[in-house]
């Protein structure tokens, strides 16, 4: 698949967190932090530079939660909960705060009614605690986006979002159970936000891909295996039951850098157009059997969703440029927003990163390796882009010359 240089994804260089000064030079800060890092401490320096203060984030969440509950106490809304990076313990300095709201007092209140109540409160609050309140268009469930003035946190407020809550709990338990998995996930999230954030591949999609990378290496059981023997936890036909007690510790001799290399090696060689990335089955597999109803677990889940009265799943789309399954809802493609153009860019990033992590010289100098992965790679991608543009201009010139000769 060839990318069009004139319309490549606009990827921010050294993306700056939204809650810090826009003049902050992350590349220089990273270089300085890596220079003073002790042997074996380079990855910790990267993570420390980009991650947020979890205590401060939790305090901000408590403040926002109390504010919303207090403002809506007369409406019967009694529960405001978090999911996403706060729960998974993977928050960076620019991470949004994801919330979902439930009304226990009035089960008859529809999602649209609850959404309207929330919009009214957020847009009319006297102290202007919430700014830039807007509905997110074209979403399956109502979402409101705004900014909390005091904490400067960007909020995504969902009207009842059980899938996000269950998935966040699963990922958070996994991160707290294994430091090496959390360090791997944090670094790759930082890398992704620097290089492919504008390609519309979500952080959640990235985490699902990390899980499958570990499963492919035999370091994590498939979700199907983790569910075996667990009492079902069914919501809308989907079983969210899962236990990590069966998970064996990752051998101490394995390093985070080795897992980073494995991740890039796997996805630099994956045929995304033909294959599905499946945390449920714990592997990268052919997409065709899903379309042909040849996978009993998938077919049974669709039937269970139908019986439960859930929103009817759309027909399986075999022709998708990238298919990454939700760990529990196999029909949900968490990479559906990635376009062919964006995938072309993502594949280039995977390829260059895989080459770098295999380079003996760079591996021997972690300071240079991490600086390259986060910033130097963008310089090389820019050079590749300019070369492609020169080639296209030359080709266009030759074609015009042929027309004149005719």
Which run of H or of E encompasses 133? strand 130-135
What is the pLDDT, as a whole number, of residue 4?
Answer: 41
- Coil, helix or strand at residue 100: strand
What is the pLDDT, as a whole number, of residue 63?
Answer: 94
What is the pLDDT, as a whole number, of residue 223?
Answer: 97
- What number is the average pLDDT over the span 74-82? 78
Residues 169 and 87: beta-carbon distance below 8 Å = yes
pLDDT tens figures, 249-272: 999 899 999 999 999 999 999 999
Locate 330 and state its tokens: 């196999």
pLDDT at 341 over 80: yes
Residues 128 and 70: beta-carbon distance below 8 Å = no
Confidence of residue 65 (pLDDT cuts 50, 70, 90): very high
What is the pLDDT, as a whole number, of residue 8?
Answer: 45
Which pTM was predicted?
0.87
- What number is the average pLDDT over the span 122-126? 84
Which residue's entry shows tokens 């309140």? 133
pLDDT tens figures, 185-241: 999 999 999 888 777 899 999 999 999 999 999 999 999 999 998 999 998 899 999
Sign of CA dihedral 340, 341, 344, 346: negative
pLDDT tens figures, 316-327: 666 678 999 999
25's CB contacts (< 8 A; 6+ apart) are: 14
Most distant CA pair in the chain, distance: 79
Residues 85 and 58: beta-carbon distance below 8 Å = no
Radius of gyration of the chain measured on its C-alpha atoms:
23
What is the pLDDT, as a whole number, of residue 107?
Answer: 58
Locate 271 and state its tokens: 């045929």
What is the pLDDT, as a whole number, of residue 73?
Answer: 79
pLDDT at 17 over 60: no
In percent, how much of the chain has pLDDT > 90? Answer: 57
Locate 377 and state its tokens: 């790679």
- Identity of the highest mean pLDDT range in 105-119, 201-215, 283-297: 201-215
- Name the DSSP class of 238: E
Residue of higher predicted confidence among 74 and 85: 85
What is the pLDDT, as a whole number, of residue 318?
Answer: 60
What is the pLDDT, as a whole number, of residue 106?
Answer: 63
């Amino acid at each position: 698949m060839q990318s069009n240089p004139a319309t490549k994804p606009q990827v921010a260089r050294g993306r700056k967190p939204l809650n810090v000064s826009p003049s902050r030079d992350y590349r220089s800060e990273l270089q300085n932090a890596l220079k003073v890092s002790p042997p074996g401490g380079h990855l910790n320096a990267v993570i420390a530079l980009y991650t947020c203060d979890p205590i401060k984030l939790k305090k901000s969440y408590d403040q926002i939660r109390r504010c919303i509950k207090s403002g809506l106490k007369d409406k019967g809304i009694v529960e405001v909960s978090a999911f996403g990076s706060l729960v998974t313990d993977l928050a960076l300095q620019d991470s949004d705060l994801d919330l979902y709201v439930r009304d226990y007092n009035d089960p008859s209140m529809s999602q649209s009614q609850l959404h309207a109540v929330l919009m009214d409160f957020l847009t009319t609050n006297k102290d202007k605690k919430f700014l830039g309140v807007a509905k997110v268009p074209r979403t399956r469930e109502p979402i409101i986006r705004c900014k909390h003035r005091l904490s400067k946190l960007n909020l995504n407020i969902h009207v009842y979002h059980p899938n996000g809550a269950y998935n966040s709990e699963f990922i958070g338990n996994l991160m707290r159970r294994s430091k090496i998995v959390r360090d791997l996930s944090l670094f790759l999230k930082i890398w992704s936000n620097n290089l492919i954030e504008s390609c519309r591949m979500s952080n959640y999609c990235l985490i699902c891909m990390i899980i499958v990378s570990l499963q492919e290496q035999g370091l994590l059981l498939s979700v199907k295996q983790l569910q075996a023997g667990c009492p079902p936890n069914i919501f809308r036909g989907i079983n969210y039951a899962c236990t990590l007690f069966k998970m064996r510790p990752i051998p101490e001799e394995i390093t985070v850098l080795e897992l980073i290399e494995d991740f890039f090696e796997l996805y630099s060689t994956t045929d995304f157009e033909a294959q599905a990335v499946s945390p449920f089955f714990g592997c990268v597999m052919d997409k065709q059997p899903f379309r042909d109803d040849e996978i009993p677990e998938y077919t049974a889940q669709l039937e269970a969703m139908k019986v439960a009265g859930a929103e009817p799943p759309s027909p399986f789309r075999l022709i998708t440029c990238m298919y990454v399954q939700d760990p529990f809802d196999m029909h949900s493609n968490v990479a559906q927003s990635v376009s062919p153009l964006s995938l072309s860019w993502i594949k280039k990033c995977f390829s260059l990163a895989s080459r770098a992590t295999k380079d003996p010289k760079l591996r021997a100098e972690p300071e240079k390796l991490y600086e390259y992965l986060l910033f130097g790679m963008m310089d090389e991608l820019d050079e590749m882009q300019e070369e492609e543009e020169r080639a296209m201009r030359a080709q266009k010139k030759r074609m015009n010359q042929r027309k004149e000769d005719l």
